Structure 1
């Protein structure tokens, strides 16, 4: 299990346009105004799955660590009360809840049949 930060928008964007079509105006290219979201990633060692006769790639899942909060004020972009994405502080209760609700079911669902009855050891990155 590891936490990774990703930007929602990119600084540069490639667009394919039809002849006569104009590109959209993009504002706010400063990195300080770009939205970052933290994700919880879970991977395992790739191995052969004898039950399914295919390779288990080891990818268990990736889940955003966010909370949906209603906007407190009206702005030019949205009215008051519109749900906004906010980063959630990743402390012990949040981390435990995400592990129990997301990671463990993904392990049970995607693990090879031979390894499902074995003890599960979750190694957490210490970042």
Structure 2
């Protein structure tokens, strides 16, 4: 099973080897989608966790017991097709190739199943046609 989570680290827990502990103690694989962690600052980490459902739940409970904020990511990328001008700028920053241009029509194609909601496409869009739902 997979779960996408956002972790918020208080300043005192930034130095903790979280992904190592998830793998070693809970047999949970952590794919880092986005990280913003610096010493002596609040940190944010977006992860896709993979593993057995019981191990995932135990890992999430352990994270919370360490004072790390855990929120399940339920956001999705939304593209306003009426505003999109199919310029393709977003395709250049999409790490999973969820955003591509159709070779024949040059229309933007969005494969939601590939999207990891890294949000790199949002500031790239010159007409602000890309956003997230809340």
Q: For this structure pair, what is the TM-score category when the shorter chain's length is used for normalisation?
A: under 0.3
- Between Structure 1 and Structure 2, the one with more helix by share is 2
TM-score by structure 2 length? Answer: 0.18
Compare CA radii of gyration and give the structure with the larger one: 1
